[in-house]
Amino acid sequence: MGFFMDRHDLEGATPADVAAAHMSDLGVQELHGVRFVSYWFDYHRGAAFCLVEAPDAEAAQRVHRESHGSVANEIIPVDPDDVARFLGRIDDPLAAARQADSAFRIILFTDLEGSTEMVQRLGDERAVALLRRHDRIVRDALGRTGGREVKHTGDGIMASFASVQSALRCAVDVQRGFAEHAARDPEAAMRVRIGMSAGEPVAQDGDLFGAAVQLAARLCARAAPGGVLVSGVVRDLSIGKGFVFADPREEALKGFPAPVTLCELVWTAGPP
């Protein structure tokens, strides 16, 4: 691993534009073994600079390419101590915002279909083994996509993401994982519902609360076994990311005063 400084020529960009791009980078960096340490923006010259810890320069470029498409015009290896002496800091200016009690996140719930019946049918020992298999499939997908497990719900997992692209990729990975498991062992097949929403939940004692969390849980309960149901906001945020959705529809959900727009994510069991 080494440190690199890159430069983006961004004529017409605003500080908010650059901050949003940086947040997108943070959402996918773990997929490429990269850590974006900090960034600087020279508004008058229309140039942004990122300090990156990465295995090589191309890995840093891949993050930019995937998260927002604006690859660096130049990238060079640097000594972070030299950067700090020259620019005065290497801390992330958005770190405090990301650690605040209220921050934008994608919320994902999984729910194992028929878990109670499964215990009755298979017995405790066999059912527990399958529940552990469920946990591994979901947690492996979270690890590959940079998701954070918030809590285990007994027959499912609640997770959060900084990137809608990572969250949707995780959902597809989870469903593909269960499809592969069913193909290998049809008698032990499991089907999982997934619900997803986006918003600014309140963080407290390691848990998340609020309307975005409640909506994701409602969508999970409404999803078809083997399906992924997302809010309209998630669908809108994923425009241009290559995901396919069924036609949106509006439904009344418990606890929400107005009908909610929801969409089914279309996924296949084959390779991406």
Q: Are residues 113 and 69 in the same domain?
A: no
Instruction: Give the predicted TM-score (pTM) of the model.
Output: 0.61
Q: Are residues 243 and 130 in the same domain?
A: yes
Q: Are residues 147 and 262 in the same domain?
A: yes
- At 183 the three-state DSSP class reads helix
Report which residue type is found at 228. V
3-49 pLDDT tens trace: 998 999 988 777 767 877 887 788 788 888 898 888 888 877 788 88
In a domain, 249, yes or no: yes
Residue 51: which CATH number? 3.30.70.3090
Residue 127: which CATH number? 3.30.70.1230
Summarize the confidence of residues 103-126 as an average pLDDT. Answer: 74
For residue 255, what pLDDT is reported?
78
Q: Are residues 114 and 181 in the same domain?
A: yes
- Give the range among 49-53, 64-68, 103-107, 187-191 with minimum mean pLDDT: 187-191
* Contact present, 223 and 258 (Cβ < 8 Å): no
Q: Are residues 152 and 255 in the same domain?
A: yes
Distance of CA 176 to the CA centre of its chain: 17
Q: Which of 98, 115, 144 is the last residue of a domain?
A: 98
Q: Which of 38, 68, 98 is the last residue of a domain?
A: 98
Report which residue type is found at 208. L
Q: Which H/E stretch holds residue 64?
A: helix 57-67
pLDDT(118) > 70: no
In a domain, 272, yes or no: no
* Contact present, 50 and 5 (Cβ < 8 Å): yes
pLDDT(99) > 70: no
164-223 pLDDT tens trace: 999 999 999 999 999 998 888 887 778 899 999 988 777 766 678 888 889 999 999 999
Q: Are residues 93 and 196 in the same domain?
A: no
Exposed / middle / buried, residue 171 (Cβ in 10 Å: 0-12, 13-18, 19+): buried
For residue 102, what pLDDT is reported?
43
For residue 270, what pLDDT is reported?
56
- Domain count for the chain: 2
Work out the mean pLDDT of the chain and round it to a whole number.
Answer: 83
Structure letter (DSSP) for residue 242: T
Q: Are residues 39 and 112 in the same domain?
A: no
Q: Are residues 215 and 177 in the same domain?
A: yes
pLDDT(98) > 50: no
In a domain, 271, yes or no: no
Q: What range defines the domain where residue 68 resides?
A: 2-98
Exposed / middle / buried, residue 103 (Cβ in 10 Å: 0-12, 13-18, 19+): middle
Q: Are residues 234 and 152 in the same domain?
A: yes
Q: Are residues 143 and 72 in the same domain?
A: no
Exposed / middle / buried, residue 71 (Cβ in 10 Å: 0-12, 13-18, 19+): middle
